[in-house]
Amino acid sequence: MAETDVFVALADPTRRRLVEVMHDGESSVTELAEHVDIEQPGVSRHLRILKDAGFVNVRADGRRRMYSLRPEPFEELAEWMRRYAHEEVDRVERLAAFVEDSHDQEEPR
């Protein structure tokens, strides 16, 4: 179970940028720091938050730590969003039907 809420983890623009960079493949902290406006210790803190939320895998490569994205949390997030998007589409369709029925029932002037 993730320790950090997924929405909190992805709310920060720096963390979203790190996710975008890791989408292209595994990266070291040094490589990731080249893509954001913060130093390596700050990148490490952001990566720890992403890891705690379940978004990131880390593996040792000698003295370096290599970070990559885990697909599962993104799939779960997409499923959650589809469920709510589906409910919203249903609401809009009901509203459209109501407006159309109301318009059809109006008397001509």
| Residue 36 located in a structural domain | yes
Q: Are residues 56 and 83 in the same domain?
A: no
Helix, strand, coil abundance in the chain, percent, nearest 5:
65, 15, 25
Q: Are residues 89 and 61 in the same domain?
A: no
Q: Are residues 93 and 65 in the same domain?
A: no
DSSP symbol at 101: H
Question: Which residue carries 């993730």 as its tokens?
Answer: 2
pLDDT computed for residue 80 by the predictor: 83
pLDDT computed for residue 55 by the predictor: 96
What are the strands of the beta sheet with 56-61, ordered from one edge? Answer: 27-28, 64-69, 56-61
Q: Are residues 15 and 62 in the same domain?
A: yes
Q: What are phi and psi of 24, to 5 degrees?
A: -80, -10
pLDDT computed for residue 93 by the predictor: 80
Domain of 58? 6-69
Instruction: Please give the chain's pLDDT, 109 residues, in tens.
Output: 446 688 889 999 999 999 999 999 999 999 999 999 899 999 999 999 999 999 999 999 999 999 999 999 998 888 888 887 777 777 778 888 888 887 777 656 5
Q: Give how many domains the chain has, as a whole number.
A: 2
Tally Cβ neighbours within 10 Å of residue 8.
12
Q: Are residues 77 and 95 in the same domain?
A: yes
pTM for the model stands at 0.73
| Residue 1 located in a structural domain | no
